[in-house]
Amino acid sequence: LGTSSLKKVLVLVLVPVLAVALAGRSAPRAAYGQPNFIVILADDVGWGDLGANWAETKETPHLDELAAEGTRFVDFHSAASTCSPSRASLLTGRLGARNGVTHNFAVTSVGGLPLNETTLAEVLREAGYSTGAIGKWHLGHHGRHHPSFRGFDYYFGIPYSHDMGCTDTPGYNLPPCPPCPRHGADARVVRKDCYTEVALPLFENVTIIQQPVNLSSLAARYAEEATRFIRRASDSGRPFFLYLALAHMHVPLGVPPTAPTSGRGIYGAALSEMDTLVGRIKRVADSHGKGNTLLWFAGDNGPWAQKCELAGRLGPFVGSWQRQRGGSSAKQTTWEGGHRVPAVAYWPGHIPAKRTSHALLSTLDVFPTLVALAGAALPPNRRFDGLDVSPVLFGRSDVGHKVLLHPNSGAAGKDGGIETLRLAQYKAFYTTGGAMACDGSLGPAEHHQPPLIFNLDRDLQEQQPLDVASREYQAVLPAISRAYAQALEDVATDNVSVADYSKDPAATPCCDPRHVACRCQEPASPAAAHLHCGSNIKTCSIFHAVHTVRGHPTQTQIKTRGELWGQVVT
């Protein structure tokens, strides 16, 4: 360990390191007025899925253009390595250990993101913004957990992951899943890892407008609705916040309209479709006043390795130490491949073009940064894990977090527990293992005391932890131990929320329980499969109001899944 590195470690030991507890901090209202915000969140995308990050990737010319005209962040991380916790943290600026969302919500979940947690949309709407959410929600759909009650003026999308319901256009998944049943007998066929009983719903505000969703046209519909929202908001004269949570690159991947042209087959075609969608949104935003809108693209977590060729590229972040022992080092884990994600920010005239930032940043930072840029204040009486990183966005600084916490996200350890942390270039693991790889290996759950410590400056592959007896390990361990203790203490003394993870079949979004798989209309033929509510829209609204929005499970007669399907028309 060189003298300069030792000095860095000693400074870290002596200086408080935990970058939290930001309640009440906000930037003064900017001289340029309130900008528009578009946050695009890709699903299960790999760091190496961005061509600007990884030369082997050729399918992202629009994202690469976005990076060339803005700033690319190469040390940017999702707040968790799985869906619901990552999204909850982005919209609250708080880790799941604080906001209560520690694992994914189910189709039958009664709860969601705790109602005492304040979302970014709520803060911005109070500051005068038009707010819209398009795409995947996965933070609760029952009652007041629905996005229409969490600060969004407009919602269009799917209430959870799009593999959590059957469709008539099932696309590509591993294992492959069947289309929705058309008759009662078909509904009783069970497939491992597949949802076969309830069709995937598409919502506009609180109404189911299509069930099952046509996945083949979903990307186009998201682009259309996003375009419509931007135009309406721009015409109103109010600033807007659009949260666009894409289905890409989560499985099932859609059937491409033409044969894949890249060597990556179906995945490459889906990646190209996502890239085209992002390019369209950028053009629309520019057409409504170039320079007025901050567009921030990032991923919600890393690739889902057990999906094999349907999973994304990790780039150099392969987690070699774990791979040598079996199991995944991507989604659900706290290896770099699980949470280091592509990220680009674009705002002509404000964010420097052709810049690469090495600042340690997170999706946690989206909340406090946008609140500050809007001239609003953070909600009181709680602490935040995110930072206002506008100086980094504007190129005035390249310093982000000194400490970044990586919660357990479905692999080894208690969900939401903090057992991995980053301190400058060092990363410490107290727990490893527990996530499935493509080859079916799981990797043993292991607890490490003292922790495994990697120096990412020279070991991006996380291949060889520091020797416990080395000078470097002994020099950095006190700083890591202190940061870890401070983190746990800070969470323990905060106002912490608890999410309701109870389940009830009555919470299942269902357009019409009289029809098999909750279809909006009973399909008389395969041609009818793509019909959505249409003339039956009133029925969809009524059933949704009863089972999902106003009511609670105790207010309905539906107590079990069997009773729910007891009226199925065959």
Predicted local distance difference test score (pLDDT) of residue 262 = 61
Tell me the β-bridge partners of 154.
132
Tokens standing for residue 89: 């943290």
Residue 10 burial (CB count, 10 A) = 14
- The pLDDT value given to residue 264: 82
* Verdict on whether the full-model pTM lies above 0.85: yes
Instruction: Report how far residue 343's alpha carbon sits from residue 361's, in angstroms, rounded to the nearest whole number.
Output: 10
Q: What is the pLDDT of residue 33?
A: 87
Closest to 77 (Cα-Cα) out of 427, 548, 511: 427
End-to-end CA distance of the chain: 72
Strands 355-357 and 343-346: unpaired
Q: State the 10-residue block means of pLDDT for the chain, 570 residues long.
A: 43 38 37 87 98 97 98 98 98 98 98 98 98 98 98 98 96 95 71 90 98 96 98 96 98 80 84 97 95 98 97 98 98 98 98 98 98 98 98 98 98 98 98 97 96 98 98 98 98 98 97 94 48 37 34 27 30
Q: Supply 374's token pair.
A: 């809007």
Q: Can you give the C-alpha Rg of the chain in angstroms? A: 23
Query: What residues are annotated to the active site?
Result: 83, 138
The Cα–Cα gap between 269 and 253 comes to 9
Neighbouring C-alpha atoms within 13 Å toward the C-beta of 56: 12
The packing angle between helices 366-373 and 83-92, to 10°, is: 30
* Confidence (pLDDT) at 551: 33
Strand ranges for 81-191 from DSSP E: 130-135, 154-157
Backbone angles phi, psi at 404, to 5 degrees: -135, 130
Give the per-residue pLDDT at 255: 77
Residues 6+ apart with CB under 8 A from 390: 27, 369, 372, 373
Phi and psi at 68, nearest 5°, equal -65, -30
pLDDT of residue 133: 98
pLDDT the model gives residue 534: 36
Cα–Cα dist 200/189, whole Å: 17
- Residues sharing a CB contact under 8 Å with residue 351, sequence separation 6 or more, in sequence order: 70, 71, 294, 345, 393, 394, 395
Please name the residue that has the structure tokens 């790889």. Answer: 437
Partner residues linked to 55 by β-bridges: none
290 three-class SS: coil
Rounded-to-integer distance, Cα 57 and Cα 420, Å: 30
Q: Where are the domains of the chain?
A: 36-507
Report how far residue 273's alpha carbon sits from residue 45's, in angstroms, rounded to the nearest whole number: 13
Query: In this structure, which amino acid lies at residue 98?
Result: R
Fold observed for domain 36-507: Alkaline Phosphatase, subunit A (3.40.720)
Q: Which residues sit opposite 133 in a β-bridge?
A: 155, 243
How many Å apart are CA 396 and CA 376, to the nearest integer?
Answer: 22
Alpha-carbon span 298 to 363, nearest angstrom: 8
295 vs 29: CA distance, rounded Å: 19
